[in-house]
Amino acid sequence: MHENYYPRIAGEMSLSVSQVAAVARLVDEGATVPFVARYRKEATGSLDEVAVAAIRDRLEKLAELDKRRGAILASLEERELLTPELQTALEQAQDKTSLEDLYLPYRPKRRTRASMARERGLDPLAQALLAQKGRDPHALARPFVDAAKDVPDVASALAGARDIMAEGMTEDPRLRMTMRALFSRRGRFISTVLKGKQEAGATFRDWFAWDEPLRTIPGHRALAMFRGEAEGFLSLCLRPPEEEIFELARRSMLRGRGPDALEVDAALVDGCKRLLAPSLESEMRAEVKNRADAEAIRIFASNLRGLLLAPPLGQQRVMAMDPGFRTGAKLVVLDAQGGLEHHTTIYPTTSASERAAAATVVKDLCDRFKVQTIGIGNGTAGRETEAFVRELGLTLPVVLVNEAGASIYSASEIARQEFPDLDLTVRGAISIGRRLMDPLAELVKLDPKSIGVGQYQHDVDQAGLRKALDDVVMSCVNAVGVDVNTASQELLTFVSGLGPALAKAVVTHRDEHGPFKTRNELRQVRRLGPKAYEQAAGFLRVRGEEPLDQSAVHPERYTLVRRMARDVKCTVAQLLADTEARARVHLGEYVSEDIGLPTLTDIMAELEKPGRDPRAGFSAFAFAEGVNRIEDLTTGLELPGIVTNVTKFGAFVDIGVHRDGMVHVSQLADRFVADPAEIVSVGKEVLVRVMEVDLQRGRIGLSMRGLETKPPPSKA
């Protein structure tokens, strides 16, 4: 990474140069964001993961800029077009837009009207007209009339000269910069329906006649209209009023009032219409799209984090069901580690006899396998199956589980490898049960886009989305920590420093040699070198001989902790168990050049609660009884619900009727809400009021206004 970037990034992010330099050095050495944020606080000044990732991403963007700069300089030099002045300007360009503006006149391009006019020898005429000295254009053009050069008359000569002037003026970097500011300041986002597409494009009818400023259009609205355009229903225009474009161009380029200036003016208007405005509109489209993408990706990432860090039930014996009407409910029993012990199919929603038989099966299995909790998928027949189980009087917690993506898992290669002899629906039930036990461990097996917590996820930049979501998954996995002896290969993949290949190597070693007894044994894994061990060790948990192996204390600090224990005359195990012993440790005595109070404070927090799970404690949630379908809803009804998705314009809430309701941002609170994330997050339990029910379109309007201070819904 180029050190010249450090002051610039520091200024942009209000950080010190040393902080940026430290992150750059660590990332360049292969350190992951979670590792840097957790174990290198002294170097970075305790920057969190968000700041570390932002520095990493900005460094990558600036490196891309330098790569493009180098390619441009090489191209110009190869074609002998690079002057000292141009080289200086290119080297000083601070962003890609400025760089491309400077390069535009020299960029190799296919034949244009201007290039063909130059081939006919009309460039001197264009330069004479551009001088705007008040001369007669016809007199200037006569010497250029030459039938052999395809210039049969004065009009043809002037037309060619205007083409040259139009291209040259609209490629002027100063005009483009000035005009770009006009587009940003005065541009409009205008959407109209294409002729004859009103009926077919009814989904986009809100945008059939839409007009608002470019600078303020919300990202979700822009993405909706971009989709309508892509599907062939809408026509979009992202420009300021045409006369404002012409007026600004004239102020910038016209210097005379004579007849030659009229030719320049005609060329300028033509260039603005044909070249400059379309070019800048493309830029504005890209800018609006990038802004909308960033907003959508941020929301998706935030929602995904909430879902991944949902409270886990923990290691319990679970009965899980993937409900269905005609096909019955696929039922599985899992042991406390998520292993399959039994599977069958019951039919609790068909005939009375089959319902009675299903009741017998459920009761017998609960008794035989000592089931502790029952989880039921919230899809088709979910509420009906839940009601059936509750009527059995089992005195066990019954939990509806969000099954979004379970079908994706059941058909995946991962599921086929794990359960090659089982039907897809049985695999789906297993996934539902495991998701209840540990949402994070199960959801990492899925493509995050299949979970349904995003907005326009298929419309945004896919590389940017993938990177952001991978960052979130890695952050969550490492924040929770991973038991190396029970974790799946998919979960281990997201541990800092591992990745798919080393995760597979860890599992292979575990299968061949048995459980790891200490963290240090990880060094024996094939191809897991010192760097990977350094990155991964602190996030992996081993329940074995070394008590610190169960904590987030990094092995590089074990010697320090042992010294603390010796100083207060106890063992490490006693230090972990004894509050009074820890109270006798004076952190100031252990500060050194590479260990400061931030790391020492983290260590003491870990000693207090070794391997603590940052996720909230689990509590079973119950929807309102008797409200199972959208037809059961009435205006004014207050219901408990769970937030399933948060967008820029509001939140979607599951109220147990197989269709999420929408709480608009204006209905989230009794005050103005700028960002719904201030009030709600995915997985949050809320109380809502039904405001509107549209049975025809299957839409439910909800409100939380006036309900914020009411007690939360009762638990099952």
Distance, in Å, from the CA atom of 301 to the CA atom of 465, rounded to the nearest integer, reads: 8
pLDDT at position 435 over 80: yes
Q: What is the dihedral of CA 18, 19, 20, 25, to 10 degrees?
A: 80
Supply the pLDDT for residue 710.
57
Q: What are phi and psi of 652, to 5 degrees?
A: -100, 135
Place of tokens 């920057």: 47
What separation in angstroms does the CA of 113 have from each of 51, 119, 126?
49, 10, 13
- Please name the residues in contact with 707: beta carbons below 8 A apart, sequence gap of 6 or more: 638, 686, 687, 688, 689
What confidence tier does 715 reach under pLDDT thresholds 50, 70, 90?
very low
* 189, 238 Cβ separation under 8 angstroms: yes
What are the residues whose beta carbons fall under 8 Å from the beta carbon of 376, sequence distance 6 or more?
A: 320, 321, 323, 329, 382, 385, 386, 389, 398, 399, 400, 401, 432
What does the pLDDT look like over 2-47, one tens digit per residue? 788 899 999 999 999 999 999 999 999 999 999 999 999 999 999 9
| Summary mean pLDDT of the chain | 91
d(CA 637, CA 703): 10
Average pLDDT over every residue of 179-186: 95
DSSP strands (E only) in 636-681: 638-647, 650-654, 661-664
Give CB contacts under 8 A, 24+ apart, made by 139-145.
Answer: 140/260
Instruction: Give the contacts of 264 (CB within 8 A, at least 6 positions apart).
Output: 129, 130, 132, 165, 169, 253, 254, 256
Q: 342 — phi, psi (to 5°)?
A: -165, 150
Identity of residue 441? A
Q: Rounded distance, CA 400 to CA 564, Å?
A: 47
Over residues 316-325, mean pLDDT: 94
pLDDT of residue 438: 93
pLDDT digit string, tens, across residues 128-147? 999 999 999 999 999 999 99
Considering only CA atoms, which of 636, 644, 703, 637 is closest in space to residue 670?
A: 703
455 or 262, greater pLDDT = 262
Q: How far is CA 390 from CA 346, 658, 707, 711, in A?
A: 15, 19, 28, 24
The bridge status of strand 638-647 relative to strand 685-694 is: antiparallel
- Residue 709 pLDDT > 70, yes or no? no
CA angle 373, 375, 378 (to 5 degrees): 160
* pLDDT(714) > 60: no
Q: What is the pLDDT of residue 612?
A: 83
pLDDT, tens digit (0-9, with 9 covering 90-100), for 635-671: 999 999 999 889 888 999 999 888 899 999 999 999 9
Give me the amino acid identity at 78. E
Beta-sheet strand order (sheet of 209-213)? 209-213, 188-193, 234-239
Q: Which residues contact 112 (CB under 8 A, 6 or more apart)?
A: 163, 167
Using CB atoms within 10 Å of the CB of residue 283, give its burial: 0 to 12 exposed, 13 to 18 middle, 19+ buried.
Answer: middle
pLDDT for position 1: 45
Burial of 175 (0-12, 13-18, 19+ CB in 10 A): buried
Question: What pLDDT digit, counting tens, does each position of 562-608 carry?
Answer: 999 999 999 999 999 899 999 999 999 999 988 999 999 999 999 99
Averaged over 190-204, what is the pLDDT? 93
Q: How far apart, in whole angstroms, are the C-alpha atoms of residue 55 and residue 168? A: 39
Beta-carbon contacts of residue 465 (< 8 Å; ≥ 6 apart): 293, 297, 300, 449, 457
Tell me the CA end-to-end span of the chain in Å, nearest whole number: 55
pLDDT of residue 716: 44
pLDDT mean over 505-513? 95
Is residue 409 scored above 90 in pLDDT?
Answer: no
Domains and CATH numbers, the chain: 5-106 (1.10.10.650), 113-300 (1.10.3500.10), 318-437 (3.30.420.140), 477-608 (1.10.150.310), 630-703 (2.40.50.140)
Whether the predicted pLDDT of 712 surpasses 70: no
Q: Could you tell me the CA-to-CA distances from 166 to 35, 125, 184, 269 in Å, in that order? A: 55, 13, 23, 8
List strand residue ranges (DSSP E) for 99-230, in order: 188-193, 209-213
Q: Where are the alpha helices (DSSP H) in 131-189?
A: 137-141, 154-170, 173-186
- The amino acid at residue 460 is V
Phi, psi of 128 (to 5 degrees): -65, -40
- Provide, rounded to the nearest whole percent, the portion of the chain with pLDDT above 70: 98
**Nearest CA to 693 among 632, 622, 627, 626?**
632
CA distance 48 to 279: 40
pTM, 2 dp? 0.84
The Cβ of residue 450 has, within 10 Å, a number of other Cβ atoms equal to 16
- Residue 447's H or E segment, with its range, is none
Query: Which carries the bigger pLDDT value, residue 452 or residue 189?
Result: 189
User: Burial level of 620, CB count in 10 A (0-12/13-18/19+)?
Assistant: middle
